[in-house]
Amino acid sequence: MSTAAQPVELRQDVVELLRTLREFSKISAETVTRELQLGRIYSFADAKPHFETIKALFEQASELPLQLLPINVVAKLQGIVGQAQSALQSISGFDPKNFGANVDSTRQAYINSLRNCAEQAFYQYGPVIAYLRLQTAPLPEYEVKASEILEQMRKASKEQLAVKEQTEQVLAKAQEAAGQVGVVQHAVHFKNEAESYRKAANRWLIATIVAISVATIFGVYSYTRITSQAAVTPSVMTSGEQVNPVSNLLLIQLTVAKLVVFSFLLSAVFWLAKIYRANRHNFVINKHRQNALSTFEAFVKSTEDPQMKDAVLLQATQCIFGPQPTGYITQDSESDGYSKVLEIVRGVSSKEGK
């Protein structure tokens, strides 16, 4: 069944619909995905199949005699175009900086909006395209076109299912990556602590060196002072021997007084050295924790085994909260229990594999 094309004057609503359909057909897929502007993570690559479905339907409809359609049908088709344009405007104005923690949900909502437009376009434009092709093409040609449209529908359905599965996989990986990045970001806290303890240790080291120098100078001075004082003290002769009672008494007094002062100086030296070792110990501990968290992501990505990932997480947690020997504190316990965690897990995994 076919009809000869007759030159007729188009209605205003048909003219407007054709104009919007042709404008929409000029939009490229790169404009929708925005991968160059947003990168792979925040791009709208998942919306590309929905956009291509809408664009294919609009291009086919723009080539058909839409003036054969009733006014209310044309109005519905025009409404679908408006919804699609609105969805694309939301995508083109999307900026991750404006949504903060809701950036992923907002981006997915825009993709879902375009997908809904694709479904509505399919339900509204599909029957119209089939009807108009039936009116303008011979029956055999119509059957071929109908088969092509049906095949396109099946293909589009399969593509949408594939896109849905890919989206779920990407979302799962993104959530896992967000957790890993969150762990790595905490390394900066230990970095700041390590730097603070390093500076404090350097200051206490300088103080210890100064105290040692003061104690050494005081000791040398005290020794020379006592020797010189004994040499100049007058002596007397008793029973043919030269006795110096004043000198002996003075030596005892000077020695006791200077020993007391010298003991305080030595105590200060030991106290300063202890504080230096404590700060140095804390510096090494926090630096070790920083290194553990900084390399956490690399170790997690190196394996796909969930048990190995749990073992890496456990090891990182033990590194942070468990005691770590540094050599600066004498009470450090050189336990190797933590280092055997990975070997134990590997052994369990190998037994389960067998």
Tell which residue, 287, 279, 276, has the closest CA to residue 320.
287
Which pLDDT value is given to residue 79? 92
For residue 237, give the DSSP letter. Answer: E
Within a domain: 326: yes
Residues 39 and 74 in one domain: yes
- Single out the residue in 185, 217, 251 at which a domain terminates: 185
CA separation for the pair 248, 227 (Å, rounded) = 11
pLDDT tens, residue by residue, 230-252: 555 554 444 444 545 545 666 67
**What integer pLDDT is reported at residue 303 of this predicted model?**
67
> What are 293's two structure tokens?
């968290």
Max mean pLDDT among 230-244, 253-267, 304-318, 339-353 falls in 253-267
Average pLDDT of the residues of the chain: 75
Question: How does pLDDT run across 314-338, given as a tens digit for each residue?
Answer: 776 666 666 666 666 665 444 454 4
- For residue 148, being part of any structural domain is answered with yes
Share of the chain above pLDDT 70, in %: 67
- Residue 258, domain extent: 187-276
- Domain shared by 109 and 235, yes or no: no
Helix (H) or strand (E) holding 242: strand 241-243
Same domain, 140 and 52: yes
The H or E element spanning position 243 is: strand 241-243
Of 113, 127, 124, 49, which Cα lies nearest the Cα of 79?
Answer: 124
Distances (CA, A) of 282 to 56, 114, 291, 351: 66, 55, 14, 40
Q: Which two tokens stand for residue 179?
A: 């957790």
Q: What is the pLDDT at residue 282? A: 83
Closest CA to 329 of 273, 290, 291: 273
Instruction: Determine, yes or no, domain membership for 284.
Output: no
Measured in whole angstroms, the distance separating CA 18 from the mean position of its chain's CA atoms is 47
In a domain, 344, yes or no: yes
Name the domain count of the chain. 3
Q: Provide the CA 328 distance to its chain's centre, in angstroms.
A: 34
Residues 58 and 66: beta-carbon distance below 8 Å: no
Looking at the fold, whether 241 and 307 belong to one and the same domain comes out as no
Whether residue 205 lies inside any domain: the answer is yes
The residue-averaged pLDDT of 188-197 equals 79
Residue 121: closest CA among 88, 170, 96, 93: 88
Judgement on whether residues 157 and 267 belong to the same structural domain of the protein: no
